[in-house]
Amino acid sequence: MNAQRGQRIVRRADRVFMHARALAFMLACMLALEAVMSAASLADGGIVVWTGERMGARAAVIIAPAAPSVGEVEFAWIGAWKAGALVHAQHLDGLAIEGVLAPAPIGSEVRCSLALTKVGHWDITIDPDGNGDAQAARFPLEVSDPPARWTTLWPAMFAWIALVAIGLTAAWRKTTRRDS
């Protein structure tokens, strides 16, 4: 009786196993892919905050992240530029930070990351030729409180919940099979 029941279970498992392999593998691939994608999309995204004409050509500024918060903010200048191009950030209370724009790996763009350390209103000036105000592009930027650290760390932090769920399911199934 027990042997028949065991065979029935194995037969049922056989059938599902056909499809399971494909999906189990797909999930593994997705996990691996997620790792790749989270890596590949760092400093990804952003928002166009300024467009206009400077140094006789069209230009645009992209900042990332799209909703800046206290911490690193990346400024990308798309357009004509000269060595010594600068990005200057000034907080409402007078705090000023400056950085040099350096060639980015996309086309002829230049980029600079500034650590904006204060919440509130910042005035940003991008000077594409490094010669002062004549060619500068100006725009305001609102910086919010930094997100809680767990909001970026949660996948690694709580990976144990998924692992325990998988382990418990397996243990439960195995114990049930052993007892039946």
Partner 1 sequence: MLEFAAPLLALADILALADNLALADNAPWVLAGCVVSCALYARGWRAIRARGRASRERFCGWRCVAFFAAWLVMLVALASPLDREAERALAAHMVQHLLLTMIVPPLFWLASPAMPCLFGLPRALRLEVVGPIIAAPAVRTLLRIATNPIVGWIAMALVTLGWHVPAIYQLALREPAWHRVEHASMLAAGLLFWLPVVEPFPYRRRWPRLAMVPYLVAADFSNTIVAAYLAFSGAIAYRWYADIGAARGIDALQDQHLAAGIMWVPGSIIYLLPAMAITATRFLAKGSFGVRAPQQPRELSLPVLQRAPARETPRDLLRIPVIGALLRQPRVRLGLRLAMLALAALIAIDGIVGPQDAPMNLAGTLPWTHWRGFAVVAILAVANAACMACPLIAPRSVLRRWITPTRTWPAALRSKWIAGALIVAWLVAYEAFDLWSSPWATAFILIGFVVAATAVDLLFEGASFCRFVCPIGQYQMLLSTVAPREVRALDADVCARCETHDCLKGRPSTVANTPTLPGCGLGLFVPKKDGNLDCTFCLDCVSACPHENIGIVAVVPGASLARAAWSSGIGTLANRFDIGVLATIFTTGAIANAAGMSAPIVQILDEIATARAISPALLQGSFVVVAMLGGALLLASAAVAVQDAPFIQRFNRIALASIPLGASVWLVHFGFHFITGWPTGEAAIRRVLHDLALSSDAPDRILSCCVVPPNWLVPAEFLALSLGLAAALGVLWWSIDAMLRRRDGARTSSSKTTSTTTPARVTIAWIAPAIALIALWSMMAWVVLQPMEMRGTSGFGS
Contacts to partner 1 from residues 10-49, by CB under 8 A: 10-26, 28-48
- Do residues 73 and 91 make contact, with C-beta atoms less than 8 angstroms apart? no
Distance from C-alpha of 60 to C-alpha of 70, rounded to nearest angstrom: 23
Q: Is 106 in the site for partner 1 (CB under 8 A)?
A: yes
Q: Are the C-beta atoms of residues 146 and 71 closer than 8 Å to each other?
A: yes
Binders in 154-173 for partner 1, by CB under 8 A: 155-160, 163-164, 166-173
- Tally of CB atoms within 10 A around 145: 8
Q: Which is nearer to partner 1, 93 or 178 (CB)?
A: 178
**Residue 68 C-beta: closest distance to partner 1, Å:** 13
Cα–chain center distance at 42: 4
Are 57 and 79 spatial neighbours (Cβ–Cβ below 8 Å)?
A: yes
Nearer to partner 1, 2 or 94 (CB): 2
Number of residues that bind partner 1 (CB under 8 A): 75
115 binds partner 1 (CB under 8 A): no
Could you tell me where the DSSP H helices lie in 41-138?
none
By CB under 8 A, tell whether 95 contacts partner 1: no
Q: How far is the CB of 137 from partner 1 (least distance, A)?
A: 11
H-helix or E-strand containing 53? strand 47-54
| Near partner 1 in 48-77, by CB under 8 A | 48, 51, 57-60, 62, 65-66
